Amino acid sequence: MRHTRLSSLAPARSAAPTGAGGGLLPKRDLAAAWLLVVLIAVPAWALTIGQAQDMGIEPGTMGMALPLFLLLWVTMMAAMMLPSMAPVAITWVRGIGRQSSGWARAARTAEFVGGYLLVWTAFGVLAYAALAFTGGLVDDHPTAGRWFGFAAFLLAGLYQLGPLKYVCLRHCRNPLSHLVHYAGFPRPARDLRVGVHHGAYCVGCCAGLMVVLIPLGMMNVAAMAGLAAVIFVEKLWSWGPLLARVVGVAFLVLAVLAPFQDWLLPGLQGSMPSMGGM
């Protein structure tokens, strides 16, 4: 019966991105999705901007211990990612949570979102290690920042143009078949497992974009806002895959420029001397 109910949500054109008109959600549930965005993402952005103003843009982890870094990282990911995945969360609750209502439905949604953020927390551990490594090396060898910037933009560009990016982006843009599959998961912690599974695809879709926070600076609010906009459009706009390729090419261009343009590397500069002083 659950499979039947979920199947009834199938859009007429399976290629339609999540949340598009005539896609997975009717207008009433889209309104609920954007309410979720307001209730979670907007406060997360406010906290992130406030913290960024206090900390500024510096290389590496800026002296933060791992627990504090992960707390800040999860807040940033909630701000940047939840707007683009909110329609999927609402679709999941609508599709297999019809037996629940009120607080029970809210709890299931929270469990799904918690699983999603759990994956991003694990990715945050890798991000912390990368930032600690680059920050320490830049402190010891300031000019190395230029080549880290080159490597980061190059890796991000190649990832954006690579096959794994598009496997994950395809899932994020059209997750309905996966939602039908999720209905067969056993009930204990099912919503948590669904959130983890979808979160893993989202990490795979956005990993290349996150890499550029190394040269641009983890607390660079302008960079975070730009990346959040790219993620949102990639997942929800009909031309999203084309935008992903354009962004990939742009990153490759920035990789060529990075060793010669200090303004591209606010997150790696530290005490790096200017090109004129070399």
Q: What is the DSSP string of the chain?
A: -HHHHHHTT--SSTTSPTT-TTSS--HHHHHHHHHHHHHHHHHHHHHHHHHHHHH---STTTT--HHHHHHHHHHHHHHHHHHHHHHHHHHHHHHH-TT--THHHHHHHHHHHHHHHHHHHHHHHHHHHHHHHHHHHHHH-TTHHHHHHHHHHHHHHHHHHSHHHHHHHHHHH--HHHHHHHTTS-STTHHHHHHHHHHHHHHHHHHHHHHTHHHH-TT-HHHHHHHHHHHHHHHHSTTHHHHHHHHHHHHHHHHHHGGG-GGG-TTT-TTPPPGGG-
Q: Would the pLDDT of 177 be above 80?
A: no
Average pLDDT for 85-114:
71
Q: Would the pLDDT of 238 be above 70?
A: yes
Q: Would the pLDDT of 180 be above 60?
A: yes
pLDDT value, residue 22? 37
Instruction: Tell me which of 116 and 27 has the higher pLDDT.
Output: 116
pTM summary value: 0.79
pLDDT cut 90: percent of the chain above it:
27
What's the burial of 271, exposed, middle or buried (CB within 10 Å: 0-12/13-18/19+)? Answer: exposed
Q: How confident is the model at residue 233 (pLDDT cuts 50, 70, 90)?
A: very high
**Which tokens belong to 151?**
């490597």
Q: How far is it, in rounded angstroms, from Cα 91 to Cα 196?
A: 16
Q: Are 82 and 113 in contact (CB under 8 A)?
A: yes
pLDDT value, residue 250? 96
Q: Would the pLDDT of 15 be above 50?
A: no
Q: Would the pLDDT of 75 be above 60?
A: yes
Q: How far is it, in rounded angstroms, from Cα 200 to Cα 151?
A: 24
Mean pLDDT for the chain overall: 78
Lowest mean pLDDT among 53-57, 148-152, 167-171, 238-242: 53-57
Q: Would the pLDDT of 88 be above 90?
A: no
Q: How confident is the model at residue 96 (pLDDT cuts 50, 70, 90)?
A: low
